[in-house]
A and B are shown apart, each in its own frame.
Chain A
């Protein structure tokens, strides 16, 4: 099935044919305590401590929170505020690598997932610091703990990778199909579901074939080649495309009995159980016309961005923008001191010629954004309401359902910064709703 709306940007997936390279060990790592949605963790190490590879550096700060782990063995040189990819300074653990890369003694295989208890698996995934690696970084164990009245019947593996430029998931599916499918089985076991779907965009048919070939015979999995359209990899659009179910406004996938996980998360889950590895590495695409040698890299979480760019031959002189993530939803960085974090699926380096500054104009009510919005919202109306500070009216137009995919801004002939307007509106509305709640209490 095809979801409504969406756009067809230029894909620029030139790195799809490049095998994943292991980045050599660096000298310094910076591991922020907040790399997930939810409460940041509390540090459990202090300056001067020696840590082993995979040793926990923090403990969760609540249920919706996970620990972070040492990417390599070495000495803790600081626990302080350091630049974070979200733009602010946040508490991070700085580690000076000792070059031995020795595993912490607590890192031990947990067993075979087929023989383990679902609750034990879930706890092990939480202790491994697992988060959704597609970019949203929602703690995996929370997703795997649905409330009793919302049973999950369908597991979906997200291999769409619809963001232009990014090829990290594509490479993972090609190079580690067995790990991906074992991860799918593991998630199915935790949830107690018998049916799973794997969705991959049609421009990555080789990846789907690889997964099909690697699927263990005891799993009931349906493989689907999806239309190449952005944002195919968005949870709600993917669920509709595969099952025909529509997540209600303001709802979550569990409201229609579904749970979606990214392919990178599946590999990390498998490794967390089979090898006992916490989430300390990931595959990241470093690409764009402003990087000398685009690569798909296996990186330790905490590697400084500057080191990564240097390993890829460095930036060209005409670089204008370095973005974490893809061009549609990524976050531009202003410092090369930020580290790679669990959710960094790509680093996009754009030259001056490709960073175009448009002059926004008034809305001409053409409705192009309405056709493009995959959530069925009215971006034009939302934009105008935001411009006029009519925050409370945004509620009537379901602004909270906006997934900030950028399809509206992409197709707007008046170059209106619709996503920026709507993001501001969402923030203002949240503030008003909070005030309302406090007033009622």
Chain B
């Protein structure tokens, strides 16, 4: 009994000593700022920053590799907090929101055939560019919705994707997931948007979708500056200097230009 107790206690002490020494000599030094940064990050582990989760991003910031405002989910608040830990100053950036640049619902944008393959936009797009007559439009098979970690995308009754602005964190996952390149991150205060991505010539675009941009340049003439421009039969908003007069939407003969207030509801995160 005594022998057993002594042996076990001795073993315990020996192992404890070993562990203690290992903790001292093999310790991995972690930049204390890394943990502090991790504390202020949203912890969504979405990868929107380009790193493998929040901890990886925090380590990269601490090493000085990543910019303190690299977390798209946290937005301005997080950027300021991270910058404070690092002793840096960041310019406050405007919050951005993902926007699907297509409003060609199944009622206004006809199909060219019945697709009965896998329910994935990327797979459908491999077959003749998808089942829509408009080869640019949203296929509505929800690749973006699947990619979104914040449940910020819905597929509307018309069969196209829509971003719910108050849930969007601008992580950019949906932008990468869309095989048609329809989703763009736009500043939330910009009021005017062209919800079309068709670069087909006017008559072709119109035949494929009633709400397509036909490249008529009415908007370009109306704004009279660089804020809107038609390129390849498609009107584009210059999001660095977006048009502010909402009346331009009324000028569009097809309704491709719309006025949206993406900042009306603040984020819920």
Contact = CB atoms under 8 A, between A and B. Distances in A.
Nearest to A426: B126
Nearest to A335: B112
Contact of B112 (A334, A420, A423): A334
B126 A423 contact: yes
A357 B116 contact: yes
Contacts of A332: 113
A427 B126 CA distance: 9
Interface string A49-87: 000000000000000000000000000000000000011
A417 B127 contact: no
B113 A334 contact: yes
A403 B101 CA distance: 37
Contact of A86 (B116, B123, B128): B128
A144 interface: no
Contacts of A86: 128
A420 B123 CA distance: 7
Contact of A424 (B116, B126, B135): B126
A86 B116 CA distance: 17
Interface string B82-120: 000000000000000000000000000000110011101
Contacts of B122: 424, 428
A380 B11 CA distance: 52
A420 B128 contact: no
A88 B129 contact: yes
Interface string B120-158: 101100111100000100000000000000000000000
Interface in A419-441: 420-421, 423-424, 427-428
Given A88-B128, A88-B129, A420 B116 contact: no
Interface residues of A, number: 15
Contacts of A417: 117-118
Interface string A325-353: 00000001011000000000000000000
Contacts of B126: 423-424, 427
A87 B117 contact: no
A56 B49 CA distance: 55
Contacts of B117: 417, 420
A320 to B, nearest CB: 9
Contacts of B128: 86-88, 334
Contacts of A357: 116
A87 B118 contact: no
Interface in A400-420: 417, 420
A361 to B, nearest CB: 13
Contacts of A423: 123, 126
A357 B120 CA distance: 17
A417 B117 CA distance: 8
A424 B124 CA distance: 9
Contacts of A360: 118
Interface string B209-253: 000000000000000000000000000000000000000000000
Contacts of B129: 87-88
A427 B125 CA distance: 11
B113 A420 contact: no
B208 to A, nearest CB: 12
Nearest to B131: A334
B217 to A, nearest CB: 23
A335 B128 CA distance: 11
Nearest to A86: B128
A328 B120 CA distance: 22
Contacts of A87: 127-129
A424 B113 contact: no
Contacts of B120: 424
A129 B122 CA distance: 34
A334 B135 CA distance: 14
B112 A424 contact: no
Contacts of B116: 357
A76 B17 CA distance: 93
A387 to B, nearest CB: 9
B98 to A, nearest CB: 20
B75 to A, nearest CB: 28
Contacts of B118: 360, 417, 420-421, 424
A360 B117 CA distance: 10
Nearest to A416: B118
A329 to B, nearest CB: 14
B174 to A, nearest CB: 15
A284 B112 CA distance: 26
Nearest to B119: A360
A438 B113 CA distance: 37
A428 B123 CA distance: 10
A203 B9 CA distance: 84
10 contacts: A88-B129, A334-B112, A334-B113, A334-B128, A360-B118, A417-B117, A417-B118, A420-B123, A423-B126, A424-B126
Interface of A: 86-88, 332, 334-335, 357, 360, 417, 420-421, 423-424, 427-428
Give the 10 A-B residue pairs with the shortest CB-CB distance, closest first. A87-B128, A334-B113, A424-B123, A334-B112, A357-B116, A420-B117, A417-B118, A420-B118, A420-B123, A424-B126
Given A88-B135, A423-B126, 20 more contacts: A87-B127, A87-B128, A88-B128, A332-B113, A334-B112, A335-B112, A357-B116, A360-B118, A417-B117, A417-B118, A420-B117, A420-B118, A421-B118, A421-B123, A423-B123, A424-B118, A424-B122, A424-B123, A424-B126, A428-B122
